[in-house]
Amino acid sequence: MLIIGINGFGRIGRMCLRACLEQNVE
């Protein structure tokens, strides 16, 4: 699901994923 979102949103998806990953890391 995440991969599809990134492919569909592109830059927006990448930004969202990055924020999600940063929040998870913290």
According to the model, what pLDDT value does residue 9 have? 67
pTM of the model: 0.41
According to the model, what pLDDT value does residue 4 have? 60
Structure confidence at residue 2 as a pLDDT band (50, 70, 90): low
The SS3 assignment for 1 reads coil
Over residues 16-26, mean pLDDT: 81
According to the model, what pLDDT value does residue 25 have? 76
According to the model, what pLDDT value does residue 8 have? 65
According to the model, what pLDDT value does residue 15 have? 83
Between helices 11-25 and 2-9, what is the axis angle to 10°?
140
Rounded Cα distance, 15 and 2, in Å: 12
Rounded Cα distance, 23 and 21, in Å: 5
